[in-house]
Structure 1
Amino acid sequence: MHTSPEAFLARLVRHAVERPAGIALEDVHHRVTFAELPGEIETRRRRLHATDARRIALALDNGIDWALWDLALLQDERVAVPVPAFFSDAQRRHLVDAAGLDAWIGPGGEAHGFRRSSDPAIATRRVVSPPALHPGTTRITFTSGTSSSPKGVCLDATAPLTVATSIAEVVAPLAIERHLAMLPLSTLLENIGGLYVPLWLGAGTCLPGVATLGWQGASGFAPHQALAAIEAFRPHSLILVPQLLQALVDLTPRAPADLRFVAVGGARVAPTLLDRTRRGGWPVFEGYGLSECASVVCLNRPGEPARGVGRPLPHAEVRVDKEGEVWVRGATQLGYLGEPTPASSWHASGDLGHWAGDALVLKGRRREVFITAYGRNVDPQWVEGELCARPDIAQALVHGEALPTNRALLVPASPEVDDARLADTVAEVNAGLPDYARIHEWRRCAPFTPHNHQLTANGRLRRDVILAAHGDWLSVPTDIPQGGVLS
C-alpha cells in the first residue's frame, strides 16, 4: 500500500464537501474548518511559488501556521526541513549547510544568512551549488545521533503519508474526532500521527504552542499545565514519550474521561508504568518506529491483548535475523543526507527483538546492550525504565560494560528528593531485578536534555555523549564490593 500526496489532498477536498463546518485545525486563538483548509493551503503554496523557495526550513512553534505551511510544502512536493527548537546554533548551521536550504519560515533565520524576501513570512538566501539530494526527497528529518552533528534522513512524499494511512486504518474503529499534539510538530512521530492521521480521518487537530502544553525549554515539563490543556481541548487521542506519560500518570492516575487512544513510543516503556496506566484506565498502546522508516512500524491494536510493541502496521514488513536484529521494509528512507543510497530495501534497525506470535518484542539496542565482567548481557533500557517508573527518579542511565558492578546516573524528579530517598528507591527497584541487572553504585547528576546533546527529541538517551561526559566515573573499575550502593 502506498499513499500519494494527490490521494491525501483529494481526501481533504472530500472532507471539505462532506463536512465543511468540521474543525480541521485549531489552537488557542483560531480555528480552520475543512471547508477553509484547501484554500488556506493553496494560498501558502502560491506564496512559496512567488519566492521560488525550493528547500525550506520550518522553524515555527506548534500551531495552525506550522500545519498549513507543512501541507503547502507537501502539495508542491518541495523539500521541507523541520527544525527542532532545541537545536543549538551550531546544529542549525549544520542543518542549513548540509541540506542546502534556500528559505526559512519562522524566527532565527537571520543568524544563518537568510534575509527578508517579498513575503514577510519567508526569509531566503542564495545558494549557488546546493548539495545533491537523493532523487525524490521532499522531507529531511534530522535525528540526534551520537555526536553534535545531527544526521539527515531523506524521505519522499509517499512514505510519511503511507504510514499515516496505515495508522489511520488501525485507529479508525475508535471514531477519533480530536487529537491534541503534545509533542513538537518538528518530531516526525507527531507530524505524521498528530497531523496527517487526524486529517485523513476527518478529525480535528488541536495545536497549542508547546509552552501551553507545559514544555519549559528543552528539559522542563510541567504536567499540571499539560493536564490543563488536555482538560481544555478534551482530545480523544494523544502521542506521548514515556517521560510525559510517567509525569501525567503520577499527577492523575485515573485517565481523563474523553481519551480513547494514547500512543506511547520513542523509547522503551517500563512494564510497571504500563501496568499502572492500564489500572487507571489510560488507553495506552505501545508502538515502535524509526525515522529511517518514516516513524511508526509496529503498534498494539485496540481490542487486542498488549504484546510487546504490537504487530507490524499494514504497510510494513518486519523480520528478525538469526542474530536477533530487527529488519524493516516498507516506507523506508531514500538514504541519509550526503551518503550513498542504501543497497537494499530492507533497513537494519540496530534493535534486538523476537516474536511473540505475530507481535514484536524488543530486547534492546544491539550497540547498547552491555556485557558485565561476569559475562552477563544486560539491556540498560529495561533497568532504566524500572528506575524511572518510580516517582523520585526523572531520568536514569545504567552502564556496566566489562565492570564487576552496574552503575547508574540518576536525575532526581525534584530538588527535594535527597540521597536517602534515592537510595531507598534504588533498593526497591533492585529487589525486583535479577542480581546481574541490579544497581550497585549510583550518582546524582544534572538532567539529560537536547540542549546538552544528551537527549533526543523523542526522549532517547544519547549514550555516547553521556558516557563521554561521565566516563571518568562510569567506566573506570573500582574495588567497591558487590551490593554497595553509593551516592
Structure 2
Amino acid sequence: MELIERIRLHAARSPDSTALEWPGGTIGYAGLAAEIERLAAELRGRGISTLAISLGNGPAWAMLDLAALHAGLCLVPLPPFFSEGQMRHALKLSGAQALVTDQAVVLRERLDLPEPMGSWRVAGRPLSWIDLPGDPQAVPAGVRKLTFTSGTTGEPKGVMLGWNHMEPVVRSLADAAGVTPSDRHLVLTPLSVLLENIAGIYTALWSGATAIVPGCPEVGLIGSSRLDTAAMTLALDRFRATSAIFSPQTLQGLVEAIESGLPRPAAFRFGAVGGAPVPPRLLERAAALELPVYEGYGLSECASVVCLNTPGHNRPGSTGRPLPHVRLRIAADGEVLIAGPGFTGYLGEEPPAGEWWASGDIGRLDPDGFLHLEGRRRNVFITTFGRNLAPEWVEGELTLEPAIAQAALFGEGRPWNTAVVVPAPGADATAVAAAIARSNLNLPDYAQVSRWIAAEGPFTPANGQLTGTGRVRRAAVQGHYQQQIERLYQ
C-alpha cells in the first residue's frame, strides 16, 4: 500500500486528527491528504523526474517529501552538514532537474547556481525553486529516494530506494514499536537523514499518529554538531512527545540533563537509539532514570532499520532482533549478512549481486536471535600482540566521561593504543587524563589508552572528520594528526 493511501484512510476515519504539528500550526489528516495532492499535481506539472531539496526541518520538508513520493518523483535530500563538494557531487550524480530551498542566497553563492524561478509557498513558508541542467535519465525508473551516505571514507554514495524497499521497513517499525494514533513523535534530527525520514515521519503517518516537526534549533540542535541538551529535554516534555529517535550523543545529552535535575519527559514511552555504536554504560544510566530507550541497528542500504530492541524483547548490549522483513546470518569471518527488500543499488554502479548483502559490520547472533555488533570490519585493527580490537568500543567508553566530548582510537600494528581526544568545554589536560585513567579501569589491557593527543577542535561533518550520523571518519582524523601520532611512538 502506498503511503498516500494510508493517509487517506486515516483522513476518512478521523479527518481532523493531527497529522503534522509544528510551533504555531497543525494540519489534520484530511488537510494533509489534500495538500499532498495539490503539491504532487504542481510537481507533475513542472515536468521533472528528480527533485533535490535543501530545507530546514518543518512541515514544508515533510509535505514536499510526501508529495514527491505520491507524484512518482525521485527526491534527493541534501543534508545541512554536507560540504560544498558533497553537495555538488550529489546534484551532479543524481541529475536533479530542480532544487527547492529556503536558503537560495547561500546555496547560489556556494554552488554557483542559477537564479531562482520565483517563490513557491509551502506550509505558509516561501521557498525558492531553482531549475538545474540535470539529466532526467540519471536515476533508474522506480527510485523514489536517493539518499547519499556520508560514509566514513571517500565521496558519498547515492543509495537508491523505491517504495517497495521503504514500505516493509515502515510496516515492521510500526508493529515493533506499537505505534498508535495517540502517539506523538518528535523529530530531533534533520529530516534529510534517512532514519528520521522513514522511522520518524513515515512510520508515524502510516500509523495515524502525529509527527511533530519543529525547526532544529527549537529542539536544541545547533548547526551540524552542537547540542543544547536542556532545550532538547524540555522540548520532549513541552511537545508531550511519546517517541523520538536519538543518536548516542543526543541520548547522552538527555541522560546528563535529567541527571542534573531537569524533569524526565512525562509522556515519553519509546526512544530508539542508533546511527553509531551505543556504549552499554550509557544504556545503563538511561535505565536507571527509567528512560524507555531501545538500541537498534540499520543502514541506508536497508532503508534504515534492520534490528530493534523493544519493550517485549529487550537485551541491553545487543541491537535487538531482526525486524520481520529481513533475515540475518553471520559469515565465517564474522561479517553481518542481510537478506530482504534491500535497495536498488548505488547510483552509477552495478546492482548488488546475490540474495545476501555484506553489511561491512562485524557481529554475532546469540542463541535467542539478538544481534551483537563488535565494530566496522574495516575499522578493526590488530595490535603487535595479535589482539583484534574494534576502536568503537573503546571510543564509547571514553566519551561516557564528562571531560571527553569525542575520541578516535589508533593502534594498528602498535604495542599500545593512542587516542585523539576532543575535550569537553572547560575540561583541561588534567581532567582528560583522569577521565582516560578511569575508562582504562573498564577495559582489558590490550584495549587501554596509553597516550593521547588533544584535538585542535571538534570532529564535525564540516571539517570532514565526522559523518552526519555521528560516526568518526577515522581515516580523516588519522591523516590530520598523523605526525603527532607518529611522534608518540618514537
Provide the aligned length of Structure 1 versus Structure 2.
473
Following TM superposition, by how much is the alpha carbon of 1:126 offset from its aligned partner in structure 2, in angstroms? Answer: 5.0
Secondary structure of 1:75's aligned partner: helix
8 Å CA contact 2:179, 2:204 repeated in 1: no
Q: What pairs with 1:139-154 in structure 2 (closer than 5 Å)? A: 139-147=145-153, 149-154=155-160
Distance 1:294 1:321, change over 3 A: same
Q: What pairs with 1:290-301 in structure 2 (closer than 5 Å)? A: 290-301=299-310
2: distance between equivalents of 1:125 and 1:21? 36
Alignment counterpart, residue 365 of structure 2, candidates 355, 359, 370? 355
Q: Would you say 1:273 and 2:282 are equivalent positions?
A: yes
Residue 84 of structure 2: aligned partner? 89
Counterpart residue type for residue 421 of structure 1: A
8 Å CA contact 1:98, 1:131 repeated in 2: no
1: distance between equivalents of 2:212 and 2:162? 26
Counterpart residue type for residue 190 of structure 1: E
Alignment counterpart, residue 457 of structure 1, candidates 447, 468, 480? 468
Residue 28 of structure 1: aligned partner? 23
Which stretch has the larger CA shift, 125-134 or 61-70? 125-134
2: distance between equivalents of 1:398 and 1:256? 35
Secondary structure of 1:245's aligned partner: helix
Distance 1:77 1:127, change over 3 A: same
Residue 67 of structure 2: aligned partner? 72
Structure 2 gap segments, 5+ residues each: 121-126
Following TM superposition, by how much is the alpha carbon of 1:335 offset from its aligned partner in structure 2, in angstroms? Answer: 0.9
Which stretch has the larger CA shift, 308-317 or 226-235? 226-235
2: distance between equivalents of 1:209 and 1:128? 30
Q: What pairs with 1:154-303 in structure 2 (closer than 5 Å)? A: 154-172=160-178, 177-253=183-259, 255-303=264-312
Alignment counterpart, residue 17 of structure 1, candidates 9, 12, 15? 12
Following TM superposition, by how much is the alpha carbon of 1:133 offset from its aligned partner in structure 2, in angstroms? Answer: 2.5
1: distance between equivalents of 2:175 and 2:238? 28
8 Å CA contact 2:152, 2:466 repeated in 1: no
Counterpart residue type for residue 169 of structure 1: D
Alignment counterpart, residue 331 of structure 1, candidates 341, 355, 364? 341
1: distance between equivalents of 2:448 and 2:176? 38
2: distance between equivalents of 1:112 and 1:288? 38
Distance 1:329 1:115, change over 3 A: farther
8 Å CA contact 1:264, 1:286 repeated in 2: yes
Distance 1:249 1:15, change over 3 A: same
Distance 1:196 1:82, change over 3 A: same
Following TM superposition, by how much is the alpha carbon of 1:289 offset from its aligned partner in structure 2, in angstroms? Answer: 0.3
Residue 432 of structure 1: aligned partner? 442
Counterpart residue type for residue 369 of structure 1: V
Q: Would you say 1:473 and 2:479 are equivalent positions?
A: no
Counterpart residue type for residue 428 of structure 1: R
8 Å CA contact 2:152, 2:472 repeated in 1: no
Residues 124-177 of structure 1: per-residue CA shift (max 9 Å, x gap): 435374453344212110111344622111111221222111100111267751
Counterpart residue type for residue 429 of structure 2: D
Following TM superposition, by how much is the alpha carbon of 1:54 offset from its aligned partner in structure 2, in angstroms? Answer: 1.6
Residue 485 of structure 1: aligned partner? none
Following TM superposition, by how much is the alpha carbon of 1:118 offset from its aligned partner in structure 2, in angstroms? Answer: 6.1
Counterpart residue type for residue 430 of structure 2: A
8 Å CA contact 1:26, 1:32 repeated in 2: yes
Following TM superposition, by how much is the alpha carbon of 1:443 offset from its aligned partner in structure 2, in angstroms? Answer: 1.4
Counterpart residue type for residue 313 of structure 1: L
**Overall identity of the aligned pairs, in %:** 41
Following TM superposition, by how much is the alpha carbon of 1:474 offset from its aligned partner in structure 2, in angstroms? Answer: 3.0
User: TM-score, structure 1 length as denominator?
Assistant: 0.93
Q: Would you say 1:63 and 2:58 are equivalent positions?
A: yes
Residues 384-409 of structure 1: per-residue CA shift (max 9 Å, x gap): 11111122211111111011110111
2: distance between equivalents of 1:457 and 1:315? 26
Alignment counterpart, residue 314 of structure 2, candidates 300, 305, 316? 305
Residues 74-93 of structure 1: per-residue CA shift (max 9 Å, x gap): 11120100110111222211
Residue 124 of structure 2: aligned partner? none
Following TM superposition, by how much is the alpha carbon of 1:44 offset from its aligned partner in structure 2, in angstroms? Answer: 0.7
Counterpart residue type for residue 168 of structure 2: T
Which stretch has the larger CA shift, 152-161 or 424-433? 152-161
The structure 1 segments of at least 4 consecutive aligned residues displaced by more than 6 Å after TM superposition are none
2: distance between equivalents of 1:212 and 1:155? 30
Which stretch has the larger CA shift, 120-129 or 160-169? 120-129
2: distance between equivalents of 1:148 and 1:52? 33
Secondary structure of 2:90's aligned partner: helix
Residue 45 of structure 1: aligned partner? 40
Structure 1 gap segments, 5+ residues each: 480-487
8 Å CA contact 1:316, 1:328 repeated in 2: yes
Residues 20-74 of structure 1: per-residue CA shift (max 9 Å, x gap): 1211001112111112111010111122122222211111111001000000011
2: distance between equivalents of 1:217 and 1:128? 29
8 Å CA contact 2:375, 2:392 repeated in 1: yes
Distance 1:405 1:394, change over 3 A: same
8 Å CA contact 2:326, 2:338 repeated in 1: yes
Distance 1:373 1:171, change over 3 A: same
Residue 398 of structure 1: aligned partner? 409
Counterpart residue type for residue 273 of structure 2: V
Secondary structure of 1:84's aligned partner: coil
Residues 301-325 of structure 1: per-residue CA shift (max 9 Å, x gap): 1122325100000111111111110
Counterpart residue type for residue 69 of structure 2: L
Q: What pairs with 1:95-134 in structure 2 (closer than 5 Å)? A: 95-106=90-101, 107-108=103-104, 110=108, 111-117=111-117, 120=120, 121=127, 123-127=129-133, 129-130=135-136, 132-134=138-140
Distance 1:186 1:173, change over 3 A: closer
2: distance between equivalents of 1:158 and 1:136? 9
